[in-house]
Amino acid sequence: MKPRFVLASASPARLKTLRGAGVEPEVIVSGVDEDHITAETPGELARLLASLKARAVVAGLDEHATVLGCDSVLEFDGVAYGKPGTPEVARERLRSLRGRSGVLHTGHCLIDTNAKQELRELASTTVHFADLTDEEIDAYVATGEPLEVAGSFTVDGLGGPFVSVIEGDYHNVVGLSLPLLRRMLIEVGIPWPALWTTTRRLEYDESEAARYDETHGGLARARAAALAVHSLLPGSAASSSPPTAGGGRVLELAVGTGIVGAELVALGNLVHGVDLSSAMLRHARIRLPGHVAAADAGRLPIAGRRCDAVVAIWLLHLLDDSEPVIAEAARVLRPGGVFITTTEKSEAGRYADGRGPNESRSQDALAHLVAQAARHGLTLDGATTFPGPLRANDQTPLYPLIRLRRTD
């Protein structure tokens, strides 16, 4: 049985680091007030804060879990630097750091309630900063990025070019040491691969991919799907979302042969697609040249808040667990962006075939999707339908399509 693994941190960078390593944690923010906690050394402060966060989350659990708390502190000239909070403080710190070095300490506290163990460790990495100009510092502070990160810099974001050299674990500077976490997990009896999360992978051989469109409704169904998606995109006549310049910037998950994506392009949208099937992608690259890539929909190689819309047509019903995909869609959407997905596909087909409802929960069931989406800041605010191919019994299924909008 897969362990329940909880990240006691609101840090997007830590979540991204774990996701990049194949781990999809449950995120529970501790609510610990960091401002009034002190310790004898910066390293001890980082370790203490990590412990307080983990313990606070464990105290609120109603079932067993493995909880990771983390906190980072930059030590510079023997002083601990946390989040600056204001542009003035961030600017002053960056001017002090330029051309010099500091030590980034990240405290890790792992509590396993099954094993009744609490482990506390510290990882430290030396960071050498570039000799920044005042203009570079002002521009960086104006982005807002340095205000909410330890030491007023990031290595995985806009601040990356301002870090000259790192001595030690790169991931530790981002906010979480993966090698250290692996060792801690082993101590409580959890092998690292036990935490890996994978979405169901559907691979097609070349012959299957070549006839996929023909056997799944062809161009007529693709056009119907694209028109329905387009009606729910930001800026469309039927959409309540703010318009976007030059059509919607759409990321299509499980793009397949690219047949729907190409129709969306014809409607004036900029479409990028990802898929895991190499055979499907060979066809998609013809329809969407330069705009498709091999990627897992549950672990997208895309920075947060970059997309106007994420689209998933006939994907979620195939998965054993749709939440990782929904979580990724929410992560890459800009505020006000929309996740558009088919829903109740299995039920539409069952009714068209004269069968009864599926008693087991489907991963694209509407109530299930809406509940999952709400956990990731997505709210249902639009819906439509489009027709599928005519069935042998002269029934034409209508496929529901919903729009979930990112509200933050």
pLDDT tens, residue by residue, 317-336: 888 788 999 999 999 999 99
Cα–Cα distance between 299 and 189 in angstroms, integer?
Answer: 26
**Which residues have a catalytic role annotated?**
71
Whether 288 has a pLDDT exceeding 90, the answer reads yes
What length is written for the chain?
408
Evaluate if residue 305 carries a pLDDT over 60: yes
* Backbone φ, ψ for residue 293 (5° rounding): -150, 155
| Residue 146, token pair as written in the block | 């340095």
Look at residue 391 in the predicted model and tell me its pLDDT.
60
Distance CA(405)–CA(232), nearest Å, equals 10
Same domain, 257 and 331: yes
The CATH number of residue 142's host domain is 3.90.950.10
Same domain for 184 and 212, yes or no, is: no
271 shares a domain with 158: no
**Of 152-161, 195-204, 369-378, 396-405, which range is least confident?**
195-204
Q: What is the pLDDT at residue 355? A: 39
Contacts of 79 (CB under 8 A, 6+ apart): 42
- Judgement on whether residues 180 and 316 belong to the same structural domain of the protein: no
Pair of tokens at residue 72 = 């980072």
pLDDT-derived band at 246 (thresholds 50, 70, 90) equals: very low
CA 317, 320, 322, 325 torsion-angle sign:
negative
- Indicate whether 46 belongs to any domain: yes
Give the Cβ contact number of residue 85 at 10 Å. 12
- Is 230's pLDDT higher than 70? yes
Structural domain contains residue 225: yes
Q: How far apart are CA 72 and CA 105, in angstroms?
A: 6
**Domain identity same for 293 and 384:** yes
Examine the domain organization and report whether 172 and 217 are in the same domain.
Answer: no
Task: Output the pLDDT for position 72.
Answer: 94
Co-location of 231 and 343 in the same domain: yes
Residue-level pLDDT at 208: 81
How far, in Å, CA of 210 to CA of 299, rounded? 27
Tell me what pLDDT residue 3 has: 87
Q: Are residues 157 and 223 in the same domain?
A: no
What pTM, to 2 d.p., does this model score?
0.54
Span 354-397, pLDDT tens digits: 434 444 447 888 988 999 999 999 999 999 999 977 665 566 77
Check residue 168 and give left, alpha or beta (phi > 0: left; psi -120 to 50: alpha): left
Residue 235 structural domain: 206-406
CA distances from 379 to 263, 326, 337, 361, 383 (A): 27, 12, 11, 21, 12
Average pLDDT over all residues of the chain: 87
Tokens (6 digits) for 313: 């047509």
- The residue among 139, 162, 195 that closes a domain is 195
Q: Which of 161, 195, 229 lies at the terminal end of a domain, its last residue?
A: 195
In angstroms, the CA 92 to CA 289 distance is: 47
- Answer yes or no: do 174 and 234 share one domain: no
Instruction: Dump strand ranges (E) for 77-215.
Output: 79-81, 101-112, 117-129, 163-167
Q: Work out how many domains the chain is built from and give that number.
A: 2
Report if residue 91 sits inside a domain: yes
Statement to judge: residues 212 and 182 lie in one domain = no
Q: Tell me which of 195, 215, 234 is where a domain ends.
A: 195
Given pLDDT bands bounded at 50, 70 and 90, which one contains residue 338? very high
More confident of the two residues 214 and 339: 339
One domain for residues 77 and 107? yes
In a domain, 201, yes or no: no
In a domain, 133, yes or no: yes
pLDDT above 90 for 205:
no
Are 157 and 226 found together in one domain? no
Q: For the segment 33-68, what is each residue's pLDDT rounded down to a tens digit?
A: 877 788 999 999 999 999 999 999 999 988 899 999
Smallest CA-to-CA distance from 239 within 248, 249, 251 is with 248
Do the domain assignments include residue 200? no
CATH of the domain at 361: 3.40.50.150
Asked if residue 251 is part of any domain, the answer here is yes
Token couple for 93:
């710190």
Question: What is the DSSP secondary-structure string of 110-137?
Answer: EEETTTTEEEEEEEEEEEEEP---HHHH
- Give Dmax over CA atoms of the chain in angstroms: 78
Q: Is residue 338 in a domain?
A: yes
